[in-house]
Structure 1
Amino acid sequence: MNRKRNYLTIGLLVVFSVLTINAYSQIANVNQVGGQPIMMKKYEKVEGSPYIGSGKWFPGKFFVRDGNTINGVMVRYNAYDDNLEFQREGKSPLIIDSKILDGFEFGMIPEGSDKTVSYNFKKGDLIGSNDLKADGFYRIIYEGEFKIYQKLKVNQISVTPPDYGQSAYDKFVQSEDYFFIDGDGNLDDFKLNRGNFYSKFQAKKKDIKAYLKKKSVDFDDATDVAQLSAYIESLL
């Protein structure tokens, strides 16, 4: 009798697993993607925005763990909670379940710029470093023999006004970290400047200097940094 129950339990588990796999494999458009409702009330008393891009929606796409790519989606990235929100046709927007997500991408014109910049994010558990948060999202700056990632962050801080009689308040402040991963998978904190590239590639310092002298590299521009990194990799 117990053996029959065990067989029945195993059979149900197999069926459940198959159904789960099929459910993921059937995600072909945005309206098939589930998620959680967005709770904006918790931000009402905080100055500023928890989002990259001040809460605006941007055209983008996301990459589902089953291998599918969902294109033509309006998205925004909540860097404070480290999650992605998306719009659905005729329905309320949702926070996507990060368990089914490998990454996402959107285009945005940063403040003070006149050109669209691509923001391509990858899930931490796919990067290959135990030093990164597995369910966090990291912007790809460069991926090759070595890798450079950016972590965009929004922190909530308390501000005490200097004038007497004014009340303290909370505000969101954006910051960023960079990580360098070498060919052996070793991770280091990194700053995007010429000195750090010289330090990482001392044997190629002369070549890098010549490149930087010839090219006008903006270290705040991910495209410029990616092109410099590709050049360095060609020397290795």
Structure 2
Amino acid sequence: MNKLMLIFGLVLLLSSASAQEFSSELWHDGYLVSTDQDSIYGSIKYDMETNIVQVQQGNVVKTFSSHKLFYFEIYDKLLENYRQFYSIPYNVNYNYKIPILFEVLYEGPLSLLAREEIVQETVSNSSAYWGSTYIRDVVSYTFYFLDKEGNIDVFTGKRNDLLQIMRKHQHDVKSFVKKNRLKTDEVPDLIRITAFYNSL
């Protein structure tokens, strides 16, 4: 009986993992502005790992690299929210910048940006009858801060690093984070902290 429960549980886990969908794998309604200032409307699919965006209009699919686009916006049907992305020059090596795709999570004097990738994580699952581990795909975010001068700082998610980036109002930010019990590695909290910093 226990063996049967184990097999049934594994089938459930595998089927739920394989049925998982990610925004970057779907087509979304939206529009794109190219570097030629053309606005192109249609179904949009993006890939932040390759910095490629596709726009489908009828039976025609156009592909744009981050070098050829300025901005795109989608209505993400999975998250049920509008999302905005820019192609922004970024230092990939010392003194060498290339435009790559960033999602804008909060726009202001200090803007919060993000890049996403699909990674694998190991999950432990236990119940009264059996215990196991399995691997699943999840979306992982890397956060960045863009200042008014166009400088982009990668953010590790650690509070001390955040306070260094926001050193101009470090004491106020530290108090705000502590008072509201905010986590500096979670999107909603990080947006709140960025909005508070920009209000000072």
**TM-score of the aligned structures, taking structure 1 as reference length:** 0.53
Q: Which moved more, 1:211-220 or 1:80-89?
A: 211-220
Equivalent position to 2:26, from 56, 63, 77: 56
Q: What amino acid maps onto 1:74 in structure 2? A: S
Q: Give the AA of the match of 1:88.
A: Q
- Identical columns (%): 21
Structure 1 residues 183 and 136, CA gap change in structure 2 (3 angstroms): closer
1:6-21 pair list within 5 angstroms: none
Cα 1:62/1:201, change in 2 over 3 Å: same
The answer for the alignment partner of 2:40 in structure 1 is 70
What is the CA deviation profile of residues 31-62 of structure 1, one whole-angstrom value per residue up to 9, with x for unaligned ones? xxxxxxxxxxxxxxxxx8xx952622111221
> 1:145·1:233 contact (CA, 8 Å) conserved in 2?
yes
Superposition RMSD in Å: 3.7
- Residues 123-165 of structure 1 show CA distances to partners (whole Å, capped at 9, x for unaligned) of 123xxx444852421112334333332122357x9xxxxxxxx
Structure with bigger strand share is 2
Q: Which has the larger radius of gyration?
A: 1
Corresponding position of 1:179:
144
Could you tell me which residue of structure 1 aligns to residue 193 of structure 2? 228
Q: Which residue of 2 aligns with 1:116?
A: 80
Distance in 2 separating the partners of 1:173 and 1:215: 28
Distance 1:117 1:215 in 2: 25
Aligned match of 2:162: 197
| Equivalence for 2:63 | 95
Matched length: 164
Query: Cα deviations across residues 68-99 of structure 1 (Å, max 9, x unaligned)?
Result: 4334x21111234321112212x143423554
Find the residue that maps to 2:176 and give its secondary structure: helix
User: Amino acid of the residue matched to residue 69 of structure 1?
Assistant: S
Rate the CA distance shift 1:78–1:182 in 2: closer, same or farther, 3 A. Answer: closer
Q: Structure 1 54/230 Cα, relative in aligned 2: closer, same or farther at 3 Å?
A: closer
**1:197 alignment partner, SS class:** helix
- Quote how far apart the aligned CAs of 1:209 are: 3.9
**Residue 55 of structure 2 aligns to which amino acid in structure 1?**
F
Give unmatched runs, 5+ long, in structure 2: 1-17, 121-135
Q: Can you give the 5+ residue segments of structure 1 that lack an aligned partner in the other structure?
A: 1-47, 158-170
Q: In structure 1, give the amino acid aligned to 2:56.
A: Q
Distance 2:138 2:80 in 1: 23
Cα deviation, residue 233, structure 1: 2.1
- TM-score of the superposed pair, with normalisation by structure 2: 0.60
Taking a change above 3 Å as real, the CA distance of residues 69 and 226 of structure 1, as seen in their structure-2 partners, is farther
* Structure 1 residue 232, shift from structure 2 partner: 0.7
Contact 1:52 1:77 in 2 (8 A): no
Hey, what's the Cα distance between the residues in 1 that align with 2:70 and 2:25? 22
The residue number in structure 2 matching 1:142 is 106
CA distance in 2, matches of 1:131, 1:141: 21
